[in-house]
Structure 1
Amino acid sequence: MEKALTFLCYFFFFFCSVTPRSSNEISSDEFALLSVKSMLSASSSEGLLASWNTSSHYCRWPGVICGGRRHPERVVALRLGSANLSGRISPFMGNLSFLKELNLGNNQLAGKIPPEIGRLLRLQVLNLSTNHLQGSIPVALVECTNLTILFLSFNQLQGEIPVNIGSLRNLKILAISENRLSGQIPQSLADFHVIENLALSQNRLSGEIPPSLGNLSSLSGLALDGNTLSGTIPSSLGFLSRLSWLNLSFNNLSGVIPISIWNNSSLRVFSVQKNMLSGTVPPNAFSNLPHMQRIFMDSNQFHGHIPPSIANASDMSVLQLLDNLFSGGVPPEVLVFEGNKISGSIPKDIGEIPAALGECQLLRYLFLQNNILNGSIPSALSRLKGLETLDVSSNNLSGQIPKFLGDLTTLSYLNLSFNSFVGEVPNIGVFTNATAVSVQGNELVCGGIPGLHLPRCSLQSGKRKHKFPVVPVIIPLIATLLVLALLYKLVNWRKRSKVNMPITTSVKGHPLISYSELVKATDGFSTSNLLGSGSFGSVYKGELDQPGESASLVAVKVLKLQTPMALKSFTAECEALRNMRHRNLVKIITVCSSIDTRGNDFKAIVYDFMPNGSLEGWLHPDKDDQPEQRHLDLLGRVTILLDVACALDYLHWQGPAPIVHCDVKSSNVLLGVDMVAHVGDFGLARIFVEGSTSLQQSTSSMGLRGTIGYAAPEYGAGNVVSTNGDIYSYGILVLETVTGKKPTDTGSRQGLTLREYVELGLDDRVIDIVDTQLSLELDNGLQMANDSPYRRKIDWLASLLRLGMSCSQELPSSRTPTGDIIKELHAMKESLESIQHVKDGKYP
Structure 2
Amino acid sequence: MGIIPTTFGKFQKIQVLGLGGNKLSGEIPASIGNLTQLFALELGENKFEGTIPPTIVNCQNLQYLNISQNNLNGSIPQQLFGPSSLQLIFLDLSHNSFTGKLPFKVGSLKNVYGLDVSNNNLSGEIPTSIGNCLILETLYLQGNSFEGSLPSSIASLKGLQELDVSQNNLSGSIPKGIEKLPFLEYLNISFNNFEGEVPTEGVFKNTSIISLIGNTKLCGGISKLQLPKCPLSIMKPRKSIGFKLVVVVSIVIFFFLFSSFLVLFWMKRSKKKLPSMVSTIGLLPNVSYKELYQATSRFSPSNLIGYGSFGAVYKGALGQEERLVAIKVLNLQHKRASKSFMAECNALRNIRHRNLVKILTCCSSMDYNGNQFKALVFEFMTNGSLDIWLHPERDNKNQSSNLSLLQRLNIAIDVASAIDYLHNHSAQPIIHCDLKPSNNLLDNDMVAHVSDFGLARLLPATDDCSQKQSSTIGIKGSIGYAAPEYGMGGEASTEGDVYSYGIFLLEMFLRKRPTDEMFKDGLNLHNFAKMALPKRLVQIVDPILLPREVEETQTTTLAREYNNENEIQTDEETLDIVNLCHIDANLNKCLVSVLEIGLACSMESPKERMNMEEVTREMHLIKNAFLGSKIRRGGLI
TM above 0.5: yes
Quote the residue 2:525 is aligned against.
Answer: 754
For 1:270 and 1:820, the matched residues in 2 are separated by 34
Distance 1:330-1:468 versus aligned 2 partners, 3 A rule = farther
Match for residue 472 of structure 1?
257
Shift of 1:262: 2.9
Give 1:804's aligned residue.
Answer: 598
- 1:245 corresponds in structure 2 to 18
Letter in 2 for 1:744: T
| Cα deviation, residue 746, structure 1 | 3.0
Aligned to 1:112: none
- Which moved further from structure 2: 603-612 or 335-344? 335-344
Partner of 1:377: 150
Q: Which amino acid aligns with 1:263?
A: G
1:263 aligns with 2:263: no
Equivalent residues in 2 for 1:382-781, closer than 5 Å: 389=160, 392=163, 397-399=171-173, 401=175, 463=248, 466=251, 469-489=254-274, 507-510=280-283, 511-546=285-320, 550-624=321-395, 626-631=396-401, 632-691=403-462, 693=464, 700-701=471-472, 703-747=474-518, 752-775=523-546, 779=550
How far off is 1:524 after superposition?
Answer: 2.0
Q: Which stretch shifts more, 647-656 or 534-543?
A: 534-543
**Which amino acid is 1:627 matched to?**
K
> Following the alignment from structure 2 to structure 1, what is the Cα–Cα distance between the partners of residues 595 and 484?
19
Is 2:469–2:491's contact at 8 Å kept on the other side of the alignment? no
Distance in structure 1 (CA, Å) of the matches to 2:371 and 2:171: 62
- Larger Rg over CA atoms: 1
Amino acid at match of 1:591: C
Q: 1:5: which partner in 2? A: none
Secondary structure, in 3 states, of the residue corresponding to 2:618?
helix
Q: Structure 1's 713 and 444: CA in aligned 2 closer, same or farther, altered over 3 A?
A: farther
Relative to 1, partners in 2 of residues 1:678 and 1:413: Cα closer, same or farther, differing over 3 Å? farther
Structure 1 residue 404: deviation in Å? Answer: 14
Contact 1:374-1:398 at 8 Å conserved across structures = no
1:399-448 Cα shifts (integer Å, max 9, x gaps): 58499999xxxx9967998986889x9xxxxxxxx99x767799899xxx
Give the Cα–Cα distance (whole angstroms) in 2 for the partners of residues 843 and 629 of structure 1.
Answer: 20
Give deviations 1:85-109, integer Å, cap 9, x for gaps. xxxxxxxxxxxxxxxxxxxxxxxxx
What is the SS of the residue equivalent to 2:501?
Answer: helix
Partner of 2:235: none
| Unaligned 5+ runs, structure 1 | 1-210, 221-242, 249-256, 273-280, 298-304, 426-433, 446-458, 491-502, 781-786
**Is the contact between residue 286 and residue 313 of structure 1 (CA under 8 Å) also seen in structure 2?**
no
C-alpha displacement of 1:463: 4.5
Alignment match of 1:827 (pick from 621, 627, 634):
621
- Displacement of 1:642 after TM fit? 0.7
- Superposition RMSD in Å: 5.1
Q: Structure 1 residues 467, 553: CA separation in 2 closer, same or farther (over 3 Å shift)? A: same
Task: Indicate the residue corresponding to 1:197 in structure 2.
Answer: none
Quote the Cα distance in structure 2 between the aligned partners of 1:788 and 1:374: 53
Change (3 A) 1:370 1:646: same
Letter paired with 2:296? T
Give the 3-state SS of the residue equivalent to 2:615 in structure 1.
Answer: helix
Provide the rounded CA distance (Å) in 1 between the counterparts of 2:161 and 2:593: 28
- Judged with a 3 Å threshold, the aligned counterparts in structure 2 of structure 1 residues 683 and 482 are, in CA distance, closer, same or farther, namely same
- Note if 1:793 corresponds to 2:576: no
Match of 1:555, SS state, is strand
SS where residue 742 of structure 1 aligns? coil
SS in structure 1 of the partner of residue 614 of structure 2: helix
- Cα drift, residue 744 of structure 1: 0.9
CA 1:600–1:311 in structure 2 vs 1: closer, same or farther (change >3 Å)?
A: closer
605 and 412 in structure 1: CA distance in 2 versus 1, 3 angstrom threshold:
farther
Give the percent of matched residue pairs that are identical in Structure 1 and Structure 2.
33
Structure 2 unpaired stretches of 5+: 9-15, 33-40, 57-63, 81-87, 207-217, 222-240, 552-580
Query: Given residue 25 of structure 2, which amino acid in structure 1 is its aligned partner?
Result: W
| Deviation sequence 1:147-196 (CA, Å, 0-9, x none) | xxxxxxxxxxxxxxxxxxxxxxxxxxxxxxxxxxxxxxxxxxxxxxxxxx
- TM (norm. structure 1) is 0.52
Superimposed CA distance per residue, residues 438-478 of structure 1 (whole angstroms, 9 cap, x where no aligned partner)? 67799899xxxxxxxxxxxxx99994893761222222323
Q: Secondary structure at the match of 1:389?
A: coil
**Contact 1:589/1:608, CA 8 A, preserved across alignment:** yes
SS of equivalent residue, structure 1 residue 747: coil
CA contact (8 A) 2:441 2:449 kept: yes
**CA displacement, residues 330-388 of structure 1 (integer Å, 9 cap, x when unaligned):** 754585595577656946x9898734685998794552588898741358x79x99996
Partners of 1:651 and 1:310 in 2: CA distance:
40
Report if the CA contact (8 A) 1:369-1:391 is conserved: no
CA drift at 1:811: 2.2
Q: d(CA) in 1 for partners of 2:455 and 2:617?
A: 28
Q: Are the counterparts in 2 of residues 262 and 288 from structure 1 also a CA contact under 8 Å? A: no
Aligned equivalents of 1:704, 1:400: Cα separation in 2: 50
Letter in 1 for 2:327: V
Counterpart contact for 1:643–1:678, Cα < 8 Å: yes
Query: Which residue in 1 is equivalent to 2:12?
Result: none
Q: What secondary structure, in the 3-state scheme, does the structure 1 residue paired with 2:377 have? A: strand
Write the distance in 1 (CA, Å) between the matches of 2:131 and 2:337.
45
Give the conservation status (yes or no) of the 8 Å contact 2:486–2:492.
Answer: yes
Deviation (angstroms), 1:828:
3.6
Corresponding position: 1:814 with 2:608: yes
Give the conservation status (yes or no) of the 8 Å contact 2:50–2:72: no
Give the C-alpha shift of residue 748 in structure 1.
Answer: 7.2
1:655-682 Cα distance to aligned partner (Å, 9 max, x none):
1111111111111111112111000111
Distance 1:822 1:506, change over 3 A: closer
**TM-score normalized by the length of structure 2:** 0.67
Q: Count residues in correspondence.
A: 523
For 1:480, give the aligned amino acid.
Answer: F
Distance 1:696 1:559 in 2: 30
1:367 to 110, 132, 139: 139
Which residue identity does 1:541 align to in structure 2? K
The structural deviation recorded for 1:286 is 3.0
Name the SS for the 2:346 alignment partner.
helix
* Contact kept? 2:434, 2:478, Cα under 8 Å: yes
| CA displacement at 1:831 relative to structure 2 | 5.3
What is the deviation of 1:639? 0.8
Measured after TM superposition, the shift of residue 391 of structure 1 is 5.5
The answer to whether the 8 Å contact 1:367/1:392 transfers is yes
Q: How far does residue 522 in structure 1 lie from its aligned partner after superposition?
A: 1.6
Per-residue CA shift, 1:65-102, capped at 9, x if unaligned?
xxxxxxxxxxxxxxxxxxxxxxxxxxxxxxxxxxxxxx
- Paired residues of 1:565 and 1:702 also in contact (CA < 8 A): no
Check whether the contact 2:355–2:450 (CA below 8 A) recurs between aligned residues.
yes
Contact 2:286 2:362 in 1 (8 A): yes
Q: State how 1:17-28 maps to structure 2 within 5 Å.
A: none
